[in-house]
Amino acid sequence: MTKQQERDQFIAQLVRALPEKPAHVVADAARLLMRHAKTHGNLAVAECNGPGDYVNRIPYPEAGHIYAEHQRRIEKKTQQIEGRIIAICAELGLVAILGGDPRGYTVKVKLPTGAYNTLGGREDGYGVPQ
Domain ranges of the chain: 3-127
- What gap in Å lies between CA 14 and CA 37, rounded to an integer? 15
Q: Which of 48, 32, 41 is nearest to 106 (CA)?
A: 41
Output the pTM of the full model.
0.90
Residue 41 has pLDDT above 80, yes or no: yes
What pLDDT shows up at residue 130?
A: 92
- What gap in Å lies between CA 119 and CA 116, rounded to an integer? 8
Q: How confident is the model at residue 100 (pLDDT cuts 50, 70, 90)?
A: confident
